[in-house]
């Protein structure tokens, strides 16, 4: 990042001055050919602005056309250990270049592969259910094991779990990319701070928004087109019927990407999105990672989600509890009732099973595998 070429610097400058404004950037470039030229004219205050964008922009560009402004932006990159990828760069992701109006400039933290082997986006709702979380985690890990790179939005719920799944594969060289809807140095939601740093460590966090941009809600649909743009396929794990996730899915269809959907129960609001896409023939229903991988000529390990847990070495009571839970989540009271065991024994059995990682506790003292 130390050796930004003059062209890089000027791109950084122009992008920074006009803000996140892809269309204006494109228009300026088509009018003036080179950013260098824009800079020179701006210094002489000779940028005439097309009526559509107004004089204010021209004024702003002219006022900012000095070396201090450039310095300032370069310094910011240095202090924040971030780098940039201008659209013309050879390191700019190949797939992203294909979409309509790709971001003129990407801010990057970590290392971004220009053409990863198989970039797959896993997206879904923030208020995920345990079912969706388990699937996202599983798919994230299984796809990464077969060499895929998981693209997600670092949101709560499905996005986070997918990234966590990808990071759990120690051997992966380039497990995951997170695309932010705010400035690249802003961690949103703040509860994902640990995940954010882990992703920077082993993958990349990218954003097209200027440093310091808050996570305004209108940013996210703009960001979503980059998530689908970076990937070859988009997996929808859980989503409401009209939501940010379905927006991303529509972007994916527009960008000619494959769309996969994880089916859920037809009564679940959280599965309405993917179920609907399957019904309308927009998405391929998938049951395991292999269903995705086979589309790209890859094979997966034998793992299937929710395989029966290993019962060896368990006590009689533990075995009974696990068998109860294979048919669905149950509360402690239901277990107590169904097994006719005293509550004291059920409680201590649950603790030991929790410790061995076979079951987990869900809100409301409900337990599941």
Q: Which CB, 45 or 365, lies closer to another protein? A: 365
CB of 356 to another protein, least distance (A): 9
Which residues sit opposite 330 in a β-bridge? 367
- The H or E element that residue 13 is part of is helix 6-18
Q: Which residue has tokens 């971030």? A: 82
**Scanning residues 328 to 367, which ones bind another protein (CB under 8 A)?**
329, 331-334, 336-337, 343-352, 354-355, 357, 360-366
CB of 269 to another protein, least distance (A): 7
* Beta-strand relationship, 258-261 and 360-362: unpaired
Q: Which CB, 69 or 361, lies closer to another protein? A: 361
User: How many residues sit close enough to another protein to count as binding (CB under 8 A)?
Assistant: 36
Of 221, 240, 282, 285, which is closest to residue 257 (Cα–Cα)? Answer: 282
CB of 59 to another protein, least distance (A): 40
Decide: is 306 part of the binding site for another protein (CB under 8 A).
no
Decide: is 161 part of the binding site for another protein (CB under 8 A).
yes
Pattern 257-276, binding to another protein, x per CB under 8 A?
------------x-------
CB of 268 to another protein, least distance (A): 10
Q: Which CB, 61 or 366, lies closer to another protein? A: 366
Q: Which CB, 31 or 338, lies closer to another protein? A: 338
Q: What is the DSSP string of 226-252?
A: HHHHH-SEEEE-S--SSSHHHHHHHHH
CB of 109 to another protein, least distance (A): 24
Q: What is the DSSP string of 87-153?
A: TTSTTS-HHHHTSSS--SEEEEEE---SS-SEEEEEE--SS--HHHHHHHHHHHHHHHHTTEEEEE-
Task: Tell me the CB-side half-sphere exposure of residue 242, using CA atoms within 13 A.
Answer: 0
**Scanning residues 126 to 155, which ones bind another protein (CB under 8 A)?**
127, 130, 133
Quote the crossing angle between the two packed helices 316-326 and 343-355, to the nearest 10°. Answer: 80
Q: Which two tokens stand for residue 301?
A: 């390990």
CB of 136 to another protein, least distance (A): 10
**Scanning residues 169 to 198, which ones bind another protein (CB under 8 A)?**
189, 191
Q: Which CB, 156 or 284, lies closer to another protein? A: 156
CA of 214: how far to CAs of 36, 83, 220, in Å?
30, 19, 11
Asked if 188 and 215 touch (Cβ cutoff 8 Å), the reply is: yes
Q: Which CB, 94 or 334, lies closer to another protein? A: 334
Of 82, 65, 255, which is closest to residue 180 (Cα–Cα)? Answer: 82
CB of 208 to another protein, least distance (A): 26
Q: Which residue has tokens 């259910």? A: 129
Chosen residue from 111, 156, 202, 319 binding another protein by CB under 8 A: 156
Specify burial of residue 135 (Cβ count, 10 A radius: 0-12, 13-18, 19+).
Answer: buried
Q: In a 3-state reduction of DSSP, which class is residue 211?
A: coil
CB of 112 to another protein, least distance (A): 27
- CA-only gyration radius of the chain, Å: 24
Q: Which CB, 84 or 139, lies closer to another protein? A: 139
Q: Which CB, 239 or 300, lies closer to another protein? A: 239
Stretch that binds another protein, among 13-21, 33-41, 303-311, 327-335 (CB under 8 A): 327-335
Q: Which CB, 77 or 136, lies closer to another protein? A: 136
- Chain residues in the site for another protein (CB under 8 A): 127, 130, 133, 156, 160-161, 189, 191, 269, 329, 331-334, 336-337, 343-352, 354-355, 357, 360-366
């Amino acid at each position: 990042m130390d050796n930004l070429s003059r062209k890089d610097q000027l791109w950084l400058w122009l992008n920074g001055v006009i803000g996140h404004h892809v269309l204006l950037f494109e228009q300026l470039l088509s009018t003036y050919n080179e950013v260098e030229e824009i800079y020179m004219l701006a210094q002489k205050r000779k940028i005439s602005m097309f009526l559509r964008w107004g004089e204010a922009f021209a004024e702003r560009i002219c006022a900012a056309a000095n070396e201090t402004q450039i310095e300032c932006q370069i310094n910011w990159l240095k202090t924040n250990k971030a780098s940039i990828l201008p659209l013309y760069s050879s390191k700019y992701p190949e797939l992203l270049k294909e979409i309509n109006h790709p971001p003129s400039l990407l801010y990057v933290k970590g290392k971004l592969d220009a053409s990863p082997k198989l970039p797959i986006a896993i997206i879904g709702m923030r208020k995920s259910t345990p079912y969706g979380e388990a699937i996202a985690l599983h798919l994230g890990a299984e796809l990464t094991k077969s060499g895929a790179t998981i693209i997600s939005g670092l949101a709560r719920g499905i996005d986070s779990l997918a990234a966590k799944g990808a990071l759990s594969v120690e051997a992966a060289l380039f497990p995951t990319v997170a695309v932010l809807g705010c400035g690249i140095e802003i961690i949103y939601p703040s509860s994902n701070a640990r995940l954010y740093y882990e992703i920077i460590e082993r993958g990349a966090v990218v954003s097209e928004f200027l440093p310091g941009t808050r996570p305004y809600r209108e940013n996210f649909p703009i960001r979503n087109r980059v998530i689908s743009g970076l990937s070859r396929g988009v997996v929808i794990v859980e989503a409401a019927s009209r939501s940010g996730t379905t927006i991303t899915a529509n972007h994916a269809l527009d960008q000619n990407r494959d769309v996969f959907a994880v089916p859920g129960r037809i009564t679940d609001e959280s599965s309405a999105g993917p179920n609907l896409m399957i019904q309308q023939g927009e998405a391929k229903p998938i049951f395991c990672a292999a269903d995705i991988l086979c589309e790209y000529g890859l094979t997966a390990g034998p793992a299937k989600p929710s395989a029966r847990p290993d019962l060896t070495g368990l006590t009689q009571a533990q075995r009974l509890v696990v068998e109860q839970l294979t048919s669905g989540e149950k509360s402690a009271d239901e277990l107590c009732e169904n097994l006719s065991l005293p509550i004291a024994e059920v409680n201590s059995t649950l603790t030991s099973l929790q410790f061995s990682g076979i079951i987990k506790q869900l809100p409301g003292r409900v337990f599941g595998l």
